[in-house]
Copies of this chain bind each other. A is one copy, B any other.
Amino acid sequence: MNFSVEYLIRFQHCDPAGIVFYPRYYEMLNQVVEDWFAEGLDWSWADMARQRSEGVPLVTARCDFLESSQIGDRVTFTLDLTHIGRKSFSLTITGTCGDSTRLRAEMVLVYVHTTDKMRAIPLPGELRARMQPYLKQ
């Protein structure tokens, strides 16, 4: 299983050269993970933040920007879960528009308690179980 979502490239994402300003791509990558948690894992960030005081900050990201995107493009982001660790997990997210691959990101996120100095804690068992089907063989 993987998870896909399509975002419209909007005016607000684009820079004076008319292409997506790359920090906006990172906002989209964050949004893909947020949507996967809500829709794919039924583990909303609203509940995670407000009821559990937990979160999943980014530890490492490597991103290759292969072709540029412009206002009006519809970019499909596909998320693959590549590793589930004890306190962290790894993802690959690819953004495509038609035949064109726009970007490819590899990210490691860690599960933390937000009110205890962002200390890493083990992934809750229930969350881990819901992630399992997405783990790429």
Which positions in A face B, CB cutoff 8 Å?
10-12, 14-19, 21-24, 26-27, 30-31, 34, 44-47, 49-50, 55, 57-65, 68, 70-72, 114, 118
Contacts and interface: CB of A to CB of B under 8 A. Distances in A.
A46 B61 contact: no
B22 A26 contact: yes
User: Nearest 8 A-B pairs (CB), nearest first?
Assistant: A46-B72, A23-B26, A17-B114, A62-B62, A23-B27, A46-B71, A14-B16, A16-B18
- When all copies of this chain in the complex are counted, the total is 4
A75 to B, nearest CB: 13
A11 B16 contact: yes
A14 B44 CA distance: 15
Contacts of A23: 12, 23-24, 26-27, 30
Instruction: Give the most central of A19, A21, A62: most B CB within 10 Å.
Output: A21
A38 to B, nearest CB: 9
Nearest to A18: B16
A86 to B, nearest CB: 19
A59 B64 CA distance: 6
A66 to B, nearest CB: 8
Nearest to A27: B23
